Structure 1
Amino acid sequence: MKRLFACAALLLMAAGPPPARPASPPLKAGAIPPGDAPGARDASVLPRYAGGILLESRDSAFDEIRLPNAPLERQSDKVDAHNNDVYLPPEPLTVEGRLTRMSYLQPEGRSALEVVRGYQQAVKDAGGSVLFECSGDACGGSAVKAARSGGSKTGIIHMLYPYDMIAGPWTECVLQEDRSGQRYTLLDLPKAGGKAAVLAWTVGDVSAGSNCKAWVGRLVTLVVTVETAKREQRMETTAASAMGQGLAQEGRVALYAIQFDTAKADIKPESRPQLAELVSFLRGAPATKVLVVGHTDNQAGIDYNLDLSRRRAQAVVAALTSAGIPAGRMAAQGVGMAAPLASNETEEGRAKNRRVELVKQN
């Protein structure tokens, strides 16, 4: 196959954010755009496929995502918020860093195989590697349903770009219609640059009354990159006295210095000072009963976030019980993304929403 990206292009683009391409004027949903969406930018670590139009980009300075690294399998009796049976890899690859999601419209006449091979070749030429690839039903889950589907199966598309994250009118047409010819690859970017996931397919039949008929038969691609990045440490330990004041004045207090491993309920060692202050407060107020409430941002499904927040709250209660606080004084509760303190549209907002709260019961 003809090589689509030169090694030099990848290395040059990794040196800094590429310049934005000329943007097309705003169009109504369903129209084929003549150029990039206003304000959309490619990720700095991976060039686009030649001739592709950038439909939408969403960037977070530091976030986490679970990437498909093996065929998806049915997760017992779990269903998502849209009543889809949940399919996931046995052990998804969870990565964190600068997260960028992008959607592209590819030139007419290109195939999903050609586009995926182009991305693979560009990464390998620069010293990276292919970690996983699959096509069609061999990927597991649904290879044809849209991101907005309900009553079916989840698939790779649901892991990479949840439907509730769609912002641009063009991406709406890309992700709301059925698909065909799916191909996927997971890439290890060179020089510890992170990971990239590429999913390509042809837009299938549109629903009755859809204004996206012009997209039928067009090849589109989702590209997700995670660049290695160090998280800025902003968490401060809340003193026992401040906990008492917060509960007395507002009935609740947020504890951001209780930290967890990515996508897990394991309390990180750096949380010990905060746990010590929490133990000190509870010992000094023996009549106080509290709820330990876990909160998440909106970067995964509702059911996933509810379960994760619940397990994290339970882990905190278990740690406090081990420190001698009677279990009867505490109850663990997980609310997932249901009670944000800030917008989930920015990393700063999501960081504020990921927290453990102490709520007074009596």
Structure 2
Amino acid sequence: MGAKIIVNGTEVSLNGIVMKMHPIMTDDDGLVVSVGRIWQLKGWQEEGKIEFKEAPSREVMEFARSVVWSMATTERMVEWTKQMAGLGYTGSSANTMNRGIEGCCPGTCDAKAKIVVGDGDKDKAELAELNRLINTYRQPGMQAIPPRLVIPDYSNRGHTGLSVEHVHYLATRFLEKGFQKRTGNTGHDIPVLVQESKSSELGSKSISNWRAKISEESGFAPKAHYERLFVQDTLYTSLGNGHFNQALNLFGNECPSIYGDMKYVIGNDRDLRHAVETGVQALVLKPTIPLRDRETIAQLLNSKREFKWGVADDGSLNIEDATEDMSNCKQFEALSKVLDAVELNCLVRSELGIKDSHRIGQQ
């Protein structure tokens, strides 16, 4: 149990707020296929329930988290009210229009609720698939890849690229809190990159896709930074931790923040300087990995974010033995892993309380 949904024609309301950017979408035959670009319809379940996949398109929905709608019977509403009270949504927090960001983004609530009925077999199968794909295509060992050599892979987030606001959100955290290097299984995620050639099909598509992105969206590292990379024969494309690498590139170019007058300057942070100039240890995959397998790896890295894994001292990788992090996770962090670039921009603005941006209202 989680949010309260009301559908009126093609209009969808979430906890009383109309989601104007995400109406009911239908195909040419008039059949429902999605709620905007956030939920893709999978089908009916028992007891009249409807299952959606939390994904921006049907092409990338397979491994996305399921969202299930149930009829709001009297009995279920009694359970829902009790559950929301247990989560702290009482008193002033009961009003969805006035709820603060720490309780929940306005118009939403904890979709996973207090008790989650997990599908252990599904998790194991998907971790095994992620483990198989990475081990099939990985190059031996780990490699430190400088972020200046990295752009998003063509498969990234349904081909929408990265969220410029999330890149600046990470860079601001590095600036204010210092760069936290990875120790054991803690710290930043391990980047998963593909070694590409500018002349390969997917390498060329990645370059074209990113060129278009930085042309239409200011706020990333300057165009000249990437053009220096595009004339080289070898580059690396990110399947995982793409925002992380581009946040480091903001420091490499001492870019201005989109949130104020500050600049991203490394200063005396030695760990940050090493990450920017030398790079962090990454898993590098062979360029022969096909597009569909790239998409699967990217989706699973995000959907299985709560499973903490690493690379052993001998270089071996066994994601199947990853331990699930059962500690509390902010809704912002969880959602940031499954949204496309446009939706993630909106999420970051909500997290930071930004109400004045030229990106507001962009499709």
Q: Do they fold alike, i.e. is TM over 0.5?
A: no
Rg: which structure is higher? 1
Greater fraction helix: 2
Normalised by the length of structure 2, the TM-score is: 0.23
Normalised by the length of structure 1, the TM-score is: 0.24
